[in-house]
Structure 1
Amino acid sequence: MMFTRRQGLAAAGVSLAMPRLAIAQGRERPFRFVVNVGLQNLDPISGPSFVTRNFAYLVFDTLVSMDGQGRYRPQMLQGWEVSADKLTWTFRLRPGLAFHDGSPVTSEDAVASLRRWGARDSIGRRLLAATADLSTAGTDSFVLKLSRPYGGVIEALGKPSVHVPFIMPARIASATPPTQQVREIMGSGPFVFLREEWVPGERTFFRRNERYVPRDEPADGLAGGKVAKVERVEMITMPDIALRATSLQQGEVDYLEYAPIDNLPRMRTNRNIVISQASGQAEMMYAVSINHHQPPFDNVLVRRALQQCLDRAEILAGAGFAEVGRPDCAAMFMCGTALGSDRGSEAIARPSIDRAKELLREAGYNNERVVLMHPVDSALLNPFGLMLIDRMRRAGFNLDIQASDWSSIAQRWVQRQPLDRGGWSVVPVVYTGFDMADPLSNLGVGFNCTGNQPWGYCEASMTPLIERFEAESDPARRRELAAELNRVAIDRATFPIAGQFRAPAAWRAELRGVIDFGFPIIWNIERGGRG
């Protein structure tokens, strides 16, 4: 999922955002955190945006959650039992769970929510495809019966990012197709959404859920006790990047989802500000989405030539991430993660323009037009796109640069039209480790031969490896299969990676209990002094 901003709204951001921040000064000040883009879609299943995910973690809860070490722990669940053949899973809800309207959370709600999620999410679809039956067993238990081995049941239920299997009432989940937005937001999480105060795309308010019963364990990543320690929360959008930094430095906001890169050196010297150090899955990866459906990128040699254009050190430095980047990392599933591997990475360890030229000659490339869609309104993607353009031209690609805002590009991206009818060849993108670290959701592996993504790769050698990984439950064998998938994905250049980096959050130093995880976690936070 890409992160974008609309630079043309900067002036409006200055004139509109600051007065709104002052509105709440006459009453108890809410905890204010600034997200990267405006909140438009409130449904975490129909909406693939990270800002919708951030919203949903305040309002909804999950059956299983990932802790700070990447382990999966019971959250809404009291626990589970699994049969000896690992085909039957029985799950028990913990007591005290209630939706915001006071109605109890039941197994019927869990089953309906999982079915809706499973019809939408990449991993969810794989899990349901391996499921013979998913049904209730009383009000507080449900049973998942597999038709064949599936090694990542708990990992699927605890998927931390888009799409997250949040639990909502069965009456809502069952009545709403997963591609349509639900009309009612009813969760059981630690905060209650205040719809009457919501200004779409600009600000969103929440209050503490007094009915919420947190787990007894300390908060850890997304797991443990979700104790809401602030009475009110305000989620804000500031299109002006500079205004975000100024507002944090002046104490007008408490937390930035992404600190402006240009302001990081100054922020590091400010003792009133803390910069995130989250790594591993919390980091991000530049990559290139390639259209495999049409020439010239239906030729693996041309794709490998593009791979050789991606000098990770140059790209990260040019985008401002030299201090927080990992240019030596060439792992499809990202370095610092459980399945990160360098097998096959020697092919891209030392990218070379000269080697790219050689590969184009071997491919018989004859100056065919390559349409590169450049998202100029994205603070993250615009600098990457500029460097990609330069290096591809130096290698000999005949580029047709079509610059636009990300929203327009995204609409064309999902189309499969020929180039003379609005088609495309290459798009610079950025994803998080929460998307990339699992082979089944990785953009260069998990969508192989599915036909449901715009890049459309289909590598026969990858299919049996994915099937074996999906069925495998032994961690060591899963790591071995992931390493081999890493090799094949790089060899076939399905989704060329261009540099891993940490995109830091920043927050006020007087805050206590901030969970540094890679995206905003608002529970467990309290102010150390007057806000």
Structure 2
Amino acid sequence: MRLKTAFFLASALVAIPSFVAAQEKGGVINVATIGEPPTLDPMASTADLVGIVSQHMFETLYTFDKAWKPTPLLAESLPEISADGKTYTIRLRSGITFHDGSDMASDDVVASLERWVKVASRGKQAAAFLDKITATDPLTVTITLKQPYAPLVSLLAFNNSAAIVLPSEKQAEPMKDFVGTGPYMLKERKADQYIQLTRFDGYTPRSGEADGYGGARHQYLDEIRFVPVPDANTRVEAAISGQYDYIDSLPVESFDRLKGSTASEPLVLKPFGYPVFVFNTAEGVAKDVAIRKAIRQALSMEDMLAAAFGSTDFYALDGDIYPKSFVWNTDAGVEGHYNLADPEGSAEAAKAAGYDGKPIRILTSRQYEFHYKMAQVAAEYLKLAGFTVDLQVVDWATLTQRRADKGLWDIYITHSPFLPEPALIGSLSPSSPGWWDTPLRKQTVEAFSAEADETKRLALWADVQKAMYAEIPYMKIGDFNALAAKSTKVEGVVPAPWPYFWNASIKK
């Protein structure tokens, strides 16, 4: 599905570099990230930080081009789909080599996809529709479905809870050998210091031009180092001084200071995505939908956004899951359920629901400073409504671990880019932390997922959004623009929700 207007990744560019001379080969770049990833296995986590690092090491059958359409990566071409929508025939590229020197073949893909449906939340999402995955010849894989499943190719393309391809004999869970097909391979990981990736000389890129995450992936750099820098203010100062070559997730109030730096330049993604409060619908206080509604009634989305982003140059009050520039935009279910800022009414609703004073445990992290600022505002509104609040501020790796335990939290704060396919939204899967699993979810999400006709899918997505507002597995807070920075010496880096550094080079 395409955007109504130019897709956000292109509209986000501060400047699109045009290269007169060929990019130079060699050198090392240091990338400052918001923290230490909880794992380097992209199947096992939906954390963006995991995908940012691991996409350089591991690859999927498909990825997304600059228009957010699926495009082949390890597959030779898009799948051949039978008339009934139940059989996908996938031809693989020949001559693809893993980091251990072995050749990729269909048995590796089958084993990897079987691991994906067991380990990955998005693989589990697809599992209910799968009948079998078979290697029909050394370079062909056939996926047979029980019923049509329109999001399948997008799920196979996504780098988050990703369907990466591993050697068939390296399918351990948890992952022990970090062996992929990507342009860079793991050399060393020192916890809380760096993750060092070096060029994989056996890499075979696709031909043609770079195209979003698709097309050619060039290996100009000798090495990429991802360095955890958890404190947002430290990342800002590092960007201004030029300490790192790329600095991710900067507070938007630092934009003017970055414009004055001679070492770095700001990169703005507009619109990037939306902050979200995810509810634990399986256990604890928030299991009761009436309590979730009371919590939502108390909150001012506008005040949370203002605290998090300051200027309306960087945020917009919007309850629609997708903004108006996206074909998926609908206001279904939003009216009367967004930005209510009504603590008094919330207190009455909570009392009617039988709220007994148990703490609302909110998980957040200061590594994403805007998460923390929203949590502070939310806590004050909830206290005004008579809720007891337990605000738990932890590092991001700890948060991603805790959210997997149903007994440890009631709300966790995160954010998401606007995804090209709504079925990629994690909370739609009952296996995703939050564990939304009701008859209404099953009815609306499965109807949406089974429909191939694009026009009909738009109406069915409106039903899903309405269900999300009715049962509140999560709350969208609003739209926001993201800020990062890169060294003026680095070229070939295009602003992206999951920044990538193949095609990056250093000016000599």
8 Å contact kept, 1:62–1:158: yes
Distance 1:67 1:310, change over 3 A: farther
Instruction: Give 3-state SS (helix, strand or coil) of 1:464's partner.
Output: helix
User: Alignment partner for residue 57 of structure 1, among 55, 58, 70?
Assistant: 55
Show the counterpart of 1:106.
Answer: 105
1:511–1:526 contact (8 Å) kept in structure 2: yes
Look up the SS of the partner of 2:210 in the other structure: coil
The 5 Å alignment of 1:146-185 reads 146-161=145-160, 163-173=161-171, 176-177=172-173, 180=174, 182-185=175-178
Q: Does 1:427 align with 2:403?
A: no
Q: What is the alpha-carbon distance in structure 2 between the residues aligned to residue 239 and residue 388 of structure 1? A: 23
Aligned to 1:194: 187
In structure 2, stretches of 5+ residues that fail to align are 1-25
- Between the aligned partners of 1:348 and 1:402, the Cα distance in structure 2 is 24
Give the C-alpha shift of residue 259 in structure 1: 2.0
* Secondary structure at the counterpart of residue 210 of structure 1: coil
Deviation of 1:387 after TM superposition, in Å, equals 0.3
String of CA shifts for 1:342-370, please: whole Å, max 9, x gaps. Answer: 21211234423167347617835566333
CA distance 1:217–1:109, shift in 2 (3 Å): same
The amino acid of 1:120's aligned partner reads V
Counterpart for residue 75 of structure 1: 73
CA deviation vs aligned residue, 1:73-118 (integer Å, no higher than 9, x gap): 1111111322222221111112331112332211111111111112
With normalisation by structure 1, the TM-score equals 0.82
Corresponding residue for residue 398 of structure 1:
387
TM-superposed deviation, 1:129: 2.5
For the residue of structure 1 that corresponds to 2:461, the secondary structure is helix
- Choose which of 205, 209, 218 in structure 2 pairs with 1:218: 209
Residue deviations 1:110-129 (CA, integer Å, cap 9, x gap): 11111111212233223233
**Which of 252, 268, 282 is 1:277 aligned to?**
268
- Match for residue 234 of structure 2? 243
Secondary structure of 1:100 counterpart: coil
Partner AA of 1:525 in structure 2: A
1:372–1:127 Cα change, 3 Å: closer
Per-residue displacement from partner, 1:497-531 (whole Å, max 9, x unpaired)?
A: 2233223221123322212111221011122x33x
| Aligned position for 2:498 | 519
Question: Structure 1 residues 160 and 399 mapped into 2: Cα distance closer, same or farther (>3 Å)?
Answer: same
What is the aligned residue count?
480
Match of 2:255 in 1: 264
Deviations 1:135-156 (A, max 9, x none): 1122111111122221122112
The counterpart of 1:31, out of the listed 9, 29, 32, is 29
Is 1:315–2:304 an aligned residue pair? yes
1-side partners of 2:50 and 2:400: how far apart? 17
Aligned letter for 2:375? Answer: G
Superposition pairs for residues 349-364 of structure 1, below 5 Å? 349-353=338-342, 356-357=345-346, 360=349, 363=352
Larger mean Cα displacement after TM superposition, 131-140 or 38-47: 38-47
One-letter amino acid of the counterpart of residue 71, structure 2: R
2:474 maps to which of 495, 500, 505: 495
Contact 2:155 2:424 in 1 (8 A): no
The answer to whether the 8 A contact 2:295-2:382 is kept is yes
Sort the Cα spacing of 1:137 and 1:324 in 2 relative to 1 into closer, same or farther, 3 A: farther
Distance in 2, Cα, partners of 1:411 & 1:59: 22
Partners of 2:53 and 2:146 lie apart in 1 by 35
- Alignment match, 1:477: 456
- TM superposition shift of 1:50: 2.9
Q: 1:151 to 1:211 in 2, by over 3 A?
A: same
Alignment RMSD: 2.8
Aligned residue type for 2:377: M
* Bigger RCO of structures 1 and 2 (CA < 8 A, at least 6 apart): 2
Match in the other structure for 2:438: 459
Aligned to 2:10: none
Q: What's the counterpart of residue 232 of structure 1? A: 223
Aligned letter for 1:460? P
CA distance in 1: counterparts of 2:296 and 2:207, whole angstroms: 48
When residues 501 and 61 of structure 1 are mapped into structure 2, their CA distance, relative to the original with a 3 A threshold, is same
Is 2:203 the counterpart of 1:204? no
Amino acid at match of 2:453: D
Structure 1 Cα separation of the partners of residues 261 and 411 of structure 2: 37
Aligned to 1:13: none
Distance 1:364 1:257, change over 3 A: closer
Cα gap change, 1:517 to 1:414, in 2 (>3 Å): closer
Structure 1 equivalent of residue 16 of structure 2: none
Does residue 347 of structure 1 match 2:336? yes
Q: Is the 2:154–2:424 Cα contact (8 Å) retained in structure 1?
A: no
5+ residue gaps in structure 1?
1-27, 418-422
After superposition, the Cα gap between the structure-2 partners of 1:324 and 1:98, relative to the gap in structure 1 and judged at 3 Å, is farther
Q: Percent identity?
A: 20
- Closer, same or farther in 2 for the Cα pair 1:404/1:283, shift >3 Å? closer
| Conserved? CA contact 1:241–1:260, under 8 Å | yes
Query: Per-residue deviation at 1:454?
Result: 5.2
CA distance in 2 between partners of 1:75 and 1:489 (Å): 33
Task: Find 1:385's aligned residue among 364, 375, 381.
Answer: 375
**Structure 1's 408 and 108: CA in aligned 2 closer, same or farther, altered over 3 A?**
closer
- Measure, in 2, the Cα distance between the counterparts of 1:237 and 1:298: 35
8 Å CA contact 1:367, 1:398 repeated in 2: no
Corresponding position of 1:17? none
Distance 1:192 1:137 in 2: 30
Change (3 A) 1:472 1:507: same
